[in-house]
Amino acid sequence: MSEATDCRGGRFAGKVAIATGAGRGMGRAVALLLAKEGAKVAVNDINGPAAKTVAEEARQYGAEAIDVPGDVSSADDVSRVVEETISRFGRIDILVNNAGISSTTRPLETITDDEWSKVIDVNLKGVFLFMRAVLPHMKKQKSGKIVNVSSSAGRSVSTFCGAHYTASKAGVLGLSRHAALEAAPFNVNVNAVAPGTIDTPMLREDASEELIAEETRNIPLGRLGTEEDEANLVAFLASDEASFITGATIDINGGDLIL
Ligand SMILES: NC(=O)c1ccc[n+]([C@@H]2O[C@H](COP(=O)([O-])OP(=O)(O)OC[C@H]3O[C@@H](n4cnc5c(N)ncnc54)[C@H](O)[C@@H]3O)[C@@H](O)[C@H]2O)c1
């Protein structure tokens, strides 16, 4: 086994992780980092072939990995993903609720019912459904780490998306706080991360080069965030090093939003 793949004794050795929306972008970076550091990973995405590719990449690091395609906004899909993970790996130690969709910036009064429902269902209800399905397992085993991906939009206002996106990401923060309080007696930590502008396929699809350049100039650290920046934070919150952190929201934005 090469040095790159011989890492089974890492920070997450013996841990089982589910990462949602992990077919590309930040979710993929998180799944691969956890795999590199010893976790067994279940790679979820609504895009089945993308999840499969990332699970294959994780196996290149010597990790046990499965692809568990499904829509986070569907209770049936979420149940199936959790059941498949338990049946393959026997437990769930880490849940990273990363899947999310953006929306075009448009005046609130032009947002249709369908657009509202779609964004809220994926970005907020998806986080609820996964926590509802996973928490009983974590509570029973008296340990677990949940990291929910919100956004600077949830702390303030979205730069590139509409009011429904801002509302969905603010909802994730409240949901995470509440879950943290309920889960704490069971030694389960629930935290949220609030990324600013991170260079992912979502950003490149949503914003023009000019807008990205302008946004970059406004970031005090002078650059966009990378998928790895975000993955490092999520991995820290998923690790034992963060065992006294719960109910927190950690900003990761290069100083773009200093509260
Ligand atoms: N990129 C940014 O600047 C930024 C900033 C703040 C927050 N976020 C949030 O971070 C998360 C990841 O963003 P990204 O930029 O990597 O996005 P991305 O679009 O590059 O990747 C998101 C992944 O989620 C998957 N997905 C979408 N809907 C899904 C569903 N219903 N069920 C399962 N999977 C689904 C997509 O197929 C895709 O693979 C999202 O929640 C996003 O809202 C991103």
Identify the structural domains of the chain with CATH numbers, from first to last. Answer: 16-251 (3.40.50.720)
Q: Which pLDDT value is given to residue 71?
A: 99
Of 18, 26, 161, 233, the one to substitute when testing ligand 1's pocket (max ligand atoms within 8 A of C-beta) is: 26
Note the pLDDT of residue 12: 98
Question: Contact 145/94 with Cβ under 8 angstroms?
Answer: yes
Is-contact 180 131, C-beta < 8 A? no
Question: Measured from the CA of 21, which atom of ligand 1 is nearest?
Answer: 24
What is the pLDDT, as a whole number, of residue 159?
85
CB 255 within 8 A of CB 217: no
Say how many Å lie between the first and final Cα of the chain, rounded. 47
3-state SS assignment for residue 191: strand
In 3D, which of 168, 145, 151 has the Cα closest to residue 225? 151
Which 3 state secondary structure label does DSSP give 30? helix
Regarding pTM above 0.85, the answer is: yes
Could you identify the atom of ligand 1 that is nearest to the CA of residue 71? 32
Q: Which atom of ligand 1 is found nearest the CA of 227?
A: 16
- How far is the CA of 4 from the CAs of 8, 22, 138, 198, 243, in angstroms? 11, 21, 31, 26, 28
Q: Is the CB of 195 under 6 A from ligand 1?
A: yes
Nearest CA to ligand 1 atom 36: 21
Residues that are catalytic? 165
149: Cα separation from own chain's centroid: 4
Is 129 touching ligand 1 by the criterion CB < 6 Å? no
- Which amino acid is located at 86 in the chain? I
Which residue from 176, 200, 253 has its CB within 8 A of the most atoms of ligand 1, so it is best to mutate? 200
> Using CA atoms, how far apart are residues 67 and 164, in angstroms rounded to an integer?
30
Reading the chain (259 residues) residue by residue, the pLDDT tens digits are 344 444 478 999 999 999 999 999 999 999 999 999 999 999 999 999 999 999 999 999 999 999 999 999 999 999 999 999 999 999 999 999 999 999 888 899 999 999 999 999 999 999 999 999 999 999 999 999 999 999 999 999 998 899 999 999 999 999 999 999 999 999 999 999 999 999 999 999 999 999 999 999 999 999 999 999 999 999 999 999 999 999 999 999 999 999 8
DSSP letter string over 37-104?
Answer: TT-EEEE--SSHHHHHHHHHHHHHTT--EEE----TT-HHHHHHHHHHHHHHHS---EEEE-------
Length of the chain: 259
Q: Does ligand 1 have an atom closer than 6 angstroms to the CB of 20?
A: yes
Closest residue to atom 19 of ligand 1, CA basis: 202
146 SS3 class: strand
